[in-house]
Structure 1
Amino acid sequence: MELQQMRYVVAVAETSSFTRAAERCLVVQSALSHQVARLERELGARLFERTSRRVRLTPAGEAFLPAARQCLEAADRAAAEVAAAVGEIRGRLAVGLIPTVAAVDVPRALRDFRGRYPHVRVSLRVGASEELADRVRDGALDIAFLGLPTTARPRGVAARALARDRLVAVVAPDHPLAGEPAVDLRRLASEVFVDLPAGTAGRAQSDLAFAAAGLDRDVAFEVTSADFIDRLVGENLGVAMLPSAYAPRLSGVTTIEVTDAPARVEYAVWSRFGRTPATSAFLTALGIDADTDADG
């Protein structure tokens, strides 16, 4: 069994196509198909069901795929560790971030990092804080930037608090509140809201604040990503509450200070059980001492 064969299997599984897998792996399709068939003979089981219309994993393939990925990740990690030992950082850096991250200018940080370490392959995943923390814990992400209510802390990961921020109200320019210098939660509770889905950390920041004040509110629109909220608010479908540091990125809306606004804390989190050389280098580039600030 060879690593290249595993790479071919993973590529076919992810693309559901031998043709697209061959294109991704930069080989001719016949060579890729031959190596997959050779591996199947060695394993004594078919990994894929092939028809003229689709390719999908067999039960044996479903069982093989996670182990193949682990082997490939281990091989990449070994190569990266050897390179680091001779002074070269390479390998992969998988970064997760919430759309409203503001404590770190992630694109600029990656630009500087890439300029210093050009052999590191970088992938980005945008998602909700709780999802990103889970992916750091299971090793799918190397580092993530989260936003949590002040009553919560990242669990099961190493963490560094980066910044604390208050939420502001976001309304359409022609909304009756647009000319107000400030509002409170009681006044906002009478409005229809646009917010993140219930149960997410981003939604909890506002839910907890209204609950603590003994107030109910109507969240009529739920959006899975905060970077779409301002478009709905701009159409006067509702109001929203978003971090003040994120507000300058919004367009077509008006922001208002909330006198009793909830707060959130932004964190950088990474694995507590070992870091790749690229992860350590990125943390250092961010000014984070991972050995003393791993407090998750």
Structure 2
Amino acid sequence: MTTLRQLEYLVTVVDTGSFTRAAELLHVSQPALSHQVRVLERDAGGPLLERLARAVRPTPMGRAILPHARAALADAERARTAARRAVGLDGGEIQVAAVYSVTLGIMLPVLRTWHENHPQVRVRLMEFPHTDALLAAMTAGRADLAVGPRPGQWEGTVTELGEEEFVLAVPAGDPAPDRVRLTDLADRSWVHYAPGNGLAEVVDQACAAAGFRPRAAVRTEQTAAAPLLAATGLGPALVPESVVPAGFAGRVLRPEPPVRRMLAAYTRPHPDPLTTAFLDTLARHAAEGRA
């Protein structure tokens, strides 16, 4: 089934003449963009774009569908404008609670897209080091929506966003293979997390499953500091892949078996239109990331 998002992708690729530039403008990865265009071409029954050495241009079938795609996008924008005015999405404030690693990962493109689409809506972002504190904030009514590990019990709406992948950060010259068993690192000192950080439990549980208890060389309360400390040689650090900075000075290893945890967004039983709109944006970005 053709979606407005796919039509937007097609129009943007044609207008820019490039998958790379279109992906930058749309704030999506190029593989996700290409995948959605292929799905659209499959639904249309043939190729819509001709991929040349230095440019991309529409095929005859693509040129035929372009006016209809532009018209559908214009109609959708007019409908969104009317809906915003009706339910107050052109103003107000939404309170979003998240654990630290989520803020550094999935929330960045979501907040950027939200601000572009709803510039008059303020976002109050509250960050928590532990799932229990996140859940307590939601229970107390301090936030409209929470993003973090899936709660064990929750009476409201829970939307799974996908699994958060963990990697091992080590110094650049570390001799360990790219894929390594945690048990092979059991005799090392580790960069660990302070007890108040929920990732301390993730590390302890993963190491316990491998048959050992990690010996901490240093403990940090800041999730983003763990890979940087590991790169200095203090010890390996098990970190969410999303917190590894661009241009990381160390190496990133994949643990075997993989270490993952399910992330979810959850709201109260009857979320207001602002919260529902933010949740839709979050879920769409999560789905595109998985694609």
Q: How high is the TM-score relative to the length of structure 2?
A: 0.60
* Structure 2 gap segments, 5+ residues each: 1-82, 285-291
Q: Which amino acid aligns with 2:274?
A: A
Q: Contact 2:161–2:263 (CA<8 Å) still a contact in 1?
A: yes
Change (3 A) 1:126 1:253: farther
Q: Which amino acid aligns with 1:159?
A: V
Aligned-pair distance for 1:199?
Answer: 6.0
Higher helix fraction (1 or 2): 2
Q: How high is the TM-score relative to the length of structure 1?
A: 0.59
Q: Which amino acid aligns with 1:86?
A: A
Q: Contact 1:171–1:255 (CA<8 Å) still a contact in 2?
A: yes
Distance in 1 between the 2:157 and 2:195 partners? 26
Aligned-pair distance for 1:111?
Answer: 2.8
Change (3 A) 1:250 1:157: farther
Matched with 2:126 is 125
Aligned-pair distance for 1:239?
Answer: 1.2
Change (3 A) 1:123 1:194: same
SS at match of 2:168: strand
1:266 partnered with 2:268:
no
SS at match of 1:225: coil
Distance in 2 between the 1:206 and 1:250 partners? 24
Distance in 2 between the 1:209 and 1:114 partners? 37
Name the % identity. 23
174, 177, 182: which one pairs with 1:185? 182
1:135 partnered with 2:137:
yes
Aligned-pair distance for 1:171?
Answer: 0.4
Deviation string, structure 1 residues 111-162 (Cα, Å, up to 9, x no partner): 32233333322111222233222212211122222136xxx73646532221
Aligned-pair distance for 1:168?
Answer: 1.8
* Structure 1 gap segments, 5+ residues each: 1-82, 289-296
Q: Contact 2:105–2:242 (CA<8 Å) still a contact in 1?
A: no
Aligned-pair distance for 1:108?
Answer: 2.7
1:94 partnered with 2:90:
no
Distance in 1 between the 2:236 and 2:115 partners? 39
Matched with 1:218 is 215
Deviation string, structure 1 residues 230-287 (Cα, Å, up to 9, x no partner): 2211221121011335446472121111112322111112223x32332122112334
Structure 1 stretches of 4+ with a deviation exceeding 3 A read 83-87, 102-105, 152-158, 244-250
SS at match of 1:173: coil
Aligned-pair distance for 1:84?
Answer: 7.2
